[in-house]
């Protein structure tokens, strides 16, 4: 009888302990430092602060999750300078943040496919959505995050590039002989047109045009408006070189894998929504920027589709030249270019030149 009573007591106690453990989850607190080299005036930082973080907290609460996140937000280069977020997140100095892939061309070359493939789509969402889709289709693309111990959460793009000049320009021929600031890979977009590409960056455009170092610049319109470039280059030619994938929100892989499946799901879902909201916000800002520059006296000319096609066909095959260079480095450049162009075509984008055909 004693043995039976002991057995019964042990069984009851065990049942109680199991019931308690089943209904009580040990709360886990995650301390996450979020970084960006840019200050919050930039939309990708603003929406990280004002949407991503509060939305994650909201969904955790709605799900009744016991996990809690203590956020430390460090923007404007306080922890990671522009171009330094990838390394900071990899090393654990930061836990997550905005990585500008356009500043990481040597480490993340495949993510710069849009800059090497001009005349794509002016629809920011279509461009970013395509590149995000390629994360699952091209292992080497996703591998550029894996290599630096990070998980991609959502992407961002810059609005379609055009040209601002201090002289009237309505066609590609009007650029002949003129010096145009076209930094990095964008210099390829005017190769063979007769225009002269000159190195420069956003911080030098205004004064360099004003002092005659060059006659105009190739840039995106929201930046042009913010820098008041229309004051020194009031002739705006909307070429529609295409919106460009610029980077994404990522999180340290070790941190992400320490999350519960529920929390991982929340981060992924909110990251995708952050991506969509950012594309819309950037588009809205573009329209406002054009309206502002026009109200200040700028002349805006939209390049015709026929002229856009002629311009594209004047260029050397920049995308495939880049793809060949990637192949020599044992990276799937050709597959990346084709997948990107197919992604745009699948989204009903009418390309003025099929670079891969």
**More confident site: 89 or 22:** 89
pLDDT at position 12 over 80: no
Burial class (CB in 10 A: 0-12, 13-18, 19+), 44: buried
Of 40-54, 83-97, 189-203, 264-278, minimum mean pLDDT range: 189-203
Prediction pTM value: 0.87
CA angle 18, 23, 28 (to 5 degrees): 110
Q: What is the mean pLDDT of residues 304-324?
A: 96
Q: What is the mean pLDDT of residues 299-319?
A: 95
**pLDDT tens, residue by residue, 333-355:** 999 999 999 999 999 999 999 99
**pLDDT tens, residue by residue, 150-180:** 999 999 999 999 999 999 999 999 999 999 9
- At 201, the pLDDT band (50, 70, 90 cuts) reads confident
Reported as half-sphere exposure (CB side, CA atoms, 13 A), residue 170 has a value of 1
Q: How far apart are CA 262 and CA 273, in angstroms?
A: 17
Please, where are the H alpha helices in the chain? Answer: 2-23, 43-47, 53-62, 85-91, 124-137, 139-146, 205-210, 221-226, 253-257, 261-295, 305-314, 318-328, 333-346
- At 293, the pLDDT band (50, 70, 90 cuts) reads very high
- At 228, the pLDDT band (50, 70, 90 cuts) reads very high
- At 26, the pLDDT band (50, 70, 90 cuts) reads low
- At 322, the pLDDT band (50, 70, 90 cuts) reads very high
pLDDT at position 4 over 70: no
Q: How far apart are CA 197 and CA 181, in angstroms?
A: 6
On whether the CB atoms of residues 167 and 215 are closer than 8 A, the answer is yes
Burial class (CB in 10 A: 0-12, 13-18, 19+), 245: buried
Q: For residue 183, what pLDDT is reported?
A: 81
Average pLDDT, the chain: 91
Domains of the chain: 29-157+245-286 (3.40.190.170), 161-242+297-346 (3.40.190.170)
On whether the CB atoms of residues 150 and 89 are closer than 8 A, the answer is yes
Q: For residue 89, what pLDDT is reported?
A: 98
pLDDT at position 56 over 70: yes
3 state DSSP class of 78? coil
Q: How far apart are CA 265 and CA 273, in angstroms?
A: 12
pLDDT at position 8 over 50: no
On whether the CB atoms of residues 312 and 119 are closer than 8 A, the answer is yes
Q: For residue 28, what pLDDT is reported?
A: 86
On whether the CB atoms of residues 213 and 279 are closer than 8 A, the answer is no
Q: For residue 269, what pLDDT is reported?
A: 98
Question: Torsion angle of alpha carbons 193, 196, 200, 205, nearest 10°?
Answer: -90
């Amino acid at each position: 009888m004693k043995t039976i009573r002991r057995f019964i007591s042990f069984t009851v106690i065990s049942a109680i302990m199991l019931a308690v453990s089943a209904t009580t989850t040990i709360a886990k607190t995650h301390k996450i430092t979020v970084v960006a080299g840019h200050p919050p005036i930039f939309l990708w930082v603003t929406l990280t602060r004002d949407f991503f973080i509060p939305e994650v907290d909201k969904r955790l609460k709605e799900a009744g999750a016991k996990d809690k996140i203590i956020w430390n937000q460090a923007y404007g280069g306080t922890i990671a300078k522009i171009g330094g977020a990838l390394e900071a997140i990899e090393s654990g100095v930061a836990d997550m943040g905005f990585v500008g892939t356009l500043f990481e061309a040597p480490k993340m070359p495949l993510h710069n496919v849009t800059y090497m493939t001009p005349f794509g789509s002016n629809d920011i969402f279509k461009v970013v959505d395509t590149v995000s889709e390629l994360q699952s289709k091209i292992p080497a693309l996703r591998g550029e995050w894996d290599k630096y111990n990070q998980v991609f959460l959502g992407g961002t793009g810059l609005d379609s590039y055009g040209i601002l000049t201090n002289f009237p320009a309505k066609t590609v021929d009007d650029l002949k002989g003129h010096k145009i600031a076209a930094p990095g890979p964008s210099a390829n977009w005017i190769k063979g047109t007769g225009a002269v590409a000159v190195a420069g960056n956003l911080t030098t455009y205004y004064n360099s045009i004003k002092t005659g170092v060059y006659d105009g610049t190739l840039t995106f319109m929201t930046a042009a408006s913010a820098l008041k470039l229309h004051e020194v280059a009031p002739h705006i030619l909307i070429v529609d070189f295409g919106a460009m994938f610029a980077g994404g929100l990522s999180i340290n892989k070790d941190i992400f894998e320490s999350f519960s499946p529920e929390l991982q799901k929340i981060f992924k879902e909110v990251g995708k929504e952050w991506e969509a909201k950012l594309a819309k916000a950037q588009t809205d800002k573009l329209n406002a920027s054009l309206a502002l520059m026009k109200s200040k006296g700028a002349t805006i000319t939209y390049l015709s589709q026929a002229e856009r096609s002629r311009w594209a066909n004047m260029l050397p095959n920049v995308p495939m030249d880049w793809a060949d260079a990637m192949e020599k480095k044992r990276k799937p450049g050709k597959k990346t270019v084709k997948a990107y162009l197919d992604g745009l075509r699948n989204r009903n984008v009418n390309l003025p030149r099929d670079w891969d055909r």
